[in-house]
């Protein structure tokens, strides 16, 4: 089955759909997406290393989970679906913020142009990562993430530091 994404304008109003891969080619088309930040009882953030075989930005570290709503699917429903697909669990999620960004992946030639919804949640059990999606995962205190972003930003997806700033203050504490 071919995946489709929802094309949007700069106000997140739907203007159509496109095949997922097509929406990332030739400079990309602005489409709806989400990034999830999940924390444990210690306040540590669940990070994932994207599978190297992913179609773009493979092998880089990022927030807990990312994805795209399908046509007719809400951001919240899509986020729950994708979290289950990638990490084998679901939890209560809250939409915290949104932003528009663009990032080009030189390795694949694809471009992300996303209206990104940022969600947060808490989970207190063991993740069950899907090896098709995730090469590795770790729980990390947000202050340590700030330091790692400062010293080795090339290890992370380009959207991660942007979204991280929307849910954390300068010291790494969650802003919610």
Q: How far apart are CA 18 and CA 7, in angstroms?
A: 7
- Please tell me which residue in 66, 80, 86, 112 is annotated as part of the active site: 66
Active site annotation includes 66? yes
Q: Which residues contact 107 (CB under 8 A, 6 or more apart)?
A: 56, 58
Q: How far apart are CA 55 and CA 120, in angstroms?
A: 25
Q: 113 has which bridge partners?
A: 102
Length of the chain, in residues? 176
Active site annotation includes 148? no
Helix axes 159-167, 142-151, angle to 10 degrees: 140
Residue 79 phi, psi (nearest 5): -65, -45
- Please tell me which residue in 80, 85, 114, 133 is annotated as part of the active site: 114
For 18, which DSSP code? E
In whole angstroms, how large is the CA radius of gyration of the chain? 15
Would you please indicate which residues are annotated as catalytic (active-site) residues?
66, 114
């Amino acid at each position: 089955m071919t995946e489709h994404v929802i094309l949007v304008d700069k106000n997140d109003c739907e203007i159509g759909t496109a095949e997922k891969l097509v929406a990332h080619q030739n400079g990309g088309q602005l489409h709806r997406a989400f990034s999830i930040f999940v924390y444990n009882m210690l306040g540590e953030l669940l990070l994932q290393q994207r599978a190297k075989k992913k179609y773009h930005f493979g092998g880089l570290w990022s927030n807990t989970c990312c994805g795209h709503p399908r046509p007719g699917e809400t951001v919240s429903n899509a986020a729950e679906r994708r979290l289950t697909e990638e990490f084998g669990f679901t939890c209560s999620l809250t939409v915290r913020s949104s932003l528009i960004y663009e990032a080009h992946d030189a390795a694949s030639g694809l471009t992300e142009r996303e209206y990104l919804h940022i969600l947060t949640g808490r989970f207190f059990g063991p993740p069950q990562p899907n090896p098709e999606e995730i090469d590795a995962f770790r729980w990390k205190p947000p202050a340590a993430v700030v330091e790692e972003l400062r010293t080795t930003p090339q290890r992370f997806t380009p959207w991660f530091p942007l979204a991280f700033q929307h849910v954390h203050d300068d010291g790494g504490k969650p802003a919610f």
